[in-house]
Structure 1
Amino acid sequence: MAEITAQREHLRLCLALHRVLAAEGGTTCFSPYSVASALGLVYQAARGSTADELRALLSEDEPDIAKQLELLADAAVLDTGRDGEEPVIAVSNTLWAWDQLRLNDDFGADLAAWPGAKLAHAPFVTDPEGAREAINADVARTTRDLITELVPSGAVTVDTVASLVNALYLKAAWRNPFAVAQTTDGVFHTPGGDRTVPMMRQVEQLGYAEADGWRAAVLPAAGGVQAVVLLPDAAASSAAASGAAPASALATAESSLDADTLSGLLDGVRTRRVSLRLPRVDVGMNVSLNSALGELGVAELFTPDADLTGLSDDPRLLVSDALHESVLKLDEDGLEGAAATAMMIRLTSVSVEEPVSFVVDRPFLLLVRHTTTGAVYFLARVTDPT
């Protein structure tokens, strides 16, 4: 029962975030796995109402996210040993920290439970660009160079002191590959008009279901991976056929697609002979998730009211940017995808009052002392600093 609840919660997050990101129409592509991982890491750093907002999004029906972490950890291991090309999955969950940031030991223990967990240091304050390059290079290694610039120029400043980063790479061959010779040009009805695209074809025993205005075809891949194609059924598509924009049929059907509906559709999949025509797919997305997460109830995380004292006792931490990039490709041989999500954490002032001006531009006294005992190592009277 707990496993079923975790799956439903994960689907709920998938669809909630999809609904926000797809609101403007057009093609979107993101990784719920990567986003859920990054949010889970931040949740374990959060306390108080900041944590409550994150938990409500990640695990509405559970008191914590333990089952979600278990689901994500299990999904990081693929089945192997069958005939054919071995699947590849790589997952990393990294805390990048400035070496002067005081980290809580408890967070290190929490981090260790995540797949591919590691702690790394970067010179955020002294060399922001060097820190950015280090994070991007590590993400590129995990994603096999499919994602090389997750953190854009300017996203790391002298106030940035940490980043929680998930990266994912997945490659799996179809159990029933498409014959390249069978791929021919076909018409695809886009919102901007009909386009001619390479259309893959096969007739195979595949998983198939129809329910609640949707049809589903399931393409099995190596390692226990599968691609599920969801298509509004013929009745839902009639508006597009009569001259409405092709995207309108999808948008209409999406409006009523919730976790229960999708779970029911997937549970109803049965094997039958399917004549499938599917275009090659090569899509991706590079987006800040700040506003999307705000619409889903995660808002305090990005304000000075954020409580990230699970990560560090310093009360001035907040998330400045939630960065996400994804790439997904489907062809005759199989699928390949990569995604990464970075929660950029910076210091902010506890007080919102104007800072006191302290300009040392005239002679002064200087003490160098031991903080605990008060012993003075040096006392200088400076009338000329050079």
Structure 2
Amino acid sequence: MPSQRRTVLALTGALLAGAAGCLSDNGNGDSDDDGESGNGTDADGSDDPANGSNGDDFPQVDPVTDPDIDTGALAQQVRGNIDFSLAVLEQLREDDPESNLFLSPYSISVALAMTYAGARGETAAEMADALRYNLESDDLHAAFGALEAEFERRNEDGAEVDEPYGMEGEASEDDLGFELSSANSVWAEADFPFDEDYVDLLEAYYGAGERLVDFSGSPDEAREEINAWVEEQTNDRIEELLPEGSVDSSTRLVLTNAVYFLAAWEHDFDPAETEPATFTGLDGSETELELMHQSEELEYAAMDGHQLVELPYANGETSMVVILPADGEFEAFEESLSTDQLGELLEETSRPQVDLALPKFGLESEFSLVETMDALGMERAFGSGADFSGMLEGDDGGLFISEIVHQSFIEVDEEGTEAAAATAVAMDESAPADHVEVTVDRPFLFYIRDLPTETPLFWGRVVDGETLQDE
């Protein structure tokens, strides 16, 4: 990975190497002059009523399919995305510091960016601070639109996947292929006075297909329709994003994002070399886990006893970064980890022969993020003083965020990685050496990133081995 590309992690406002070519051009040499962006169609690729719509959607606008955004502005927001990833991870681990965590901060940020588009005044200011939005509103939505379109381009370039990837070795690397998708949708109360400009913005920048539902009369039916859409977008991995009671007759709007990732390793692990070993948890407990083994030239860095190793996926544009803090220093390292420190580690990488031992693992998490975002400073959005007047016709407010739910899933084995996540925002009416070893047998952090844009797609922490390999 070129050093210049990594610079965005360490320097505010640094340019992403190579980003201009892939984010202002979709491969045909054309680019828009109006600076708008988006992924172009309904999230399900159609406005067919059979695909989750009742056929009575908001008026559609012409999508913007050739994002054109200054790479410096994009780099600023990518840095903000990384800052937010670390902030939300820190907030969540405070509630249960000895538990594993897995989430998609990208999914959370996109769902709340669509919500932020309708926020005004102090509500908008608090959301921008909490979410680490570093750009003015127009540039922010253009940046997210550019990322969404770039991921769609990445997915189109990857191999198609006909069947869900299983963890028992029944899929070959060719079958595994590559898939990266991010889909958005807006579920609105029929006849509620949503502003057409707001709806058009979500369509243009986020490709968010709008669906009119009857929250006031049939809230549970609407909830089930949303959950079915999320399940389809995540290849059946997120089955019930909105639990019972999360949507009721006072709900007027639900904004959803679903991310799905499936990729084979560039260097797969030989299952014959997988063997049991002891994993020591944060609390000192020992668990026997299956550790995969490989010896390859990999991006690797060591600093003050902390180790970082990067495992590329076969498509060449995504990777998993595993960070193994020095023995006995996990908590101190995790508390001090910053975007700049991460950038420093990445800047130190070289490519020695790495003898890597990594657990096979699977994680699932689900959160209500209302308290988390409130603790990060996003307070007004949840109360009667919320100002989301930008969503509505006229000057009347009356909407507030009643719930933010997030679910995530990951499985990692010898062949690759499958991960999925979804976020819903419900709105109610108010009321190095030449040869090194890395043995991941103690608490570690990891994240999956998109290399050309440096966007962190998923983040996780593993501190307890008990549930990692449950059958």
- Taking structure 2 as the reference length, the TM-score comes to 0.68
Residue 45 of structure 1 aligns to a residue in which SS?
coil
Which shows bigger deviation, 259-268 or 315-324? 259-268
Q: Distance in 1 between matches of 2:92 and 2:141?
A: 26
Q: 1:184 to 1:266 in 2, by over 3 A?
A: same
Q: Which residue of 2 aligns with 1:38?
A: 111
| Matching residue's letter, 1:36 | S
Residue 117 of structure 2 aligns to a residue in which SS?
helix
- Tell whether the 8 Å contact from 2:411 to 2:418 is kept in structure 1 after alignment: yes
Q: Does 1:74 align with 2:150?
A: yes
- Tell whether the 8 Å contact from 1:91 to 1:116 is kept in structure 2 after alignment: no
Q: 1:57 to 1:102 in 2, by over 3 A?
A: same
Q: 1:76 to 1:264 in 2, by over 3 A?
A: farther
- Which 5+ residue runs of structure 1 have no aligned equivalent? 240-248, 350-386
| Matching residue's letter, 1:100 | D
Q: Distance in 1 between matches of 2:406 and 2:81?
A: 18
Candidates 88, 93, 104, aligned match of 1:22: 93
- Tell whether the 8 Å contact from 2:230 to 2:239 is kept in structure 1 after alignment: yes
Q: Distance in 2 between matches of 1:213 and 1:307?
A: 48
Q: 1:81 to 1:301 in 2, by over 3 A?
A: closer
Q: Does 1:164 align with 2:235?
A: no
Q: Distance in 2 between matches of 1:46 and 1:37?
A: 14
Q: Which residue of 1 aligns with 2:410?
A: 328
Q: Distance in 2 between matches of 1:96 and 1:19?
A: 31
Which shows bigger deviation, 214-223 or 111-120? 111-120
Query: Residue 60 of structure 1: CA displacement?
Result: 4.9
Q: Which residue of 1 aligns with 2:422?
A: 340
Question: Hey, which bits of structure 1, 4+ residues long, moved more than 4 A?
Answer: 81-85
Candidates 192, 202, 205, aligned match of 2:294: 202
- Tell whether the 8 Å contact from 1:6 to 1:71 is kept in structure 2 after alignment: no
> Any residues of structure 2 matched to 1:132-147 within 5 Å, and which?
132-147=223-238
Q: Which residue of 1 aligns with 2:179?
A: 88
Q: 1:212 to 1:7 in 2, by over 3 A?
A: farther
Q: 1:275 to 1:284 in 2, by over 3 A?
A: same
Cα deviation, 1:297-339, whole Å, max 9, x if unaligned, reads: 1111101111111212341100100111101111111000110
- Count residues in correspondence: 336
| Matching residue's letter, 2:398 | R
Query: Residue 77 of structure 1: CA displacement?
Result: 3.5
Query: Residue 58 of structure 1: CA displacement?
Result: 3.1
- Tell whether the 8 Å contact from 1:325 to 1:339 is kept in structure 2 after alignment: yes
- Tell whether the 8 Å contact from 1:213 to 1:253 is kept in structure 2 after alignment: no
- Tell whether the 8 Å contact from 1:150 to 1:323 is kept in structure 2 after alignment: yes
> Any residues of structure 2 matched to 1:90-129 within 5 Å, and which?
90-129=181-220
- Tell whether the 8 Å contact from 2:406 to 2:424 is kept in structure 1 after alignment: yes
Q: Does 1:253 align with 2:346?
A: no
Q: Distance in 1 between matches of 2:223 and 2:365?
A: 20
Residue 129 of structure 1 aligns to a residue in which SS?
helix
| Matching residue's letter, 2:79 | R
- Which 5+ residue runs of structure 2 have no aligned equivalent? 1-14, 16-71, 160-172, 432-471
Query: Residue 115 of structure 1: CA displacement?
Result: 4.4
Q: Which residue of 2 aligns with 1:264?
A: 344
Q: Which residue of 1 aligns with 2:449?
A: none
Q: 1:136 to 1:169 in 2, by over 3 A?
A: same
Structure with greater strand percent: 1
Instruction: Tell me which structure has the larger Cα radius of gyration.
Output: 1
Q: Distance in 2 between matches of 1:231 and 1:170?
A: 23
Query: Residue 53 of structure 1: CA displacement?
Result: 1.2
Q: Distance in 2 between matches of 1:286 and 1:30?
A: 8
Q: Which residue of 1 aligns with 2:365?
A: 285
Q: Which residue of 2 aligns with 1:130?
A: 221
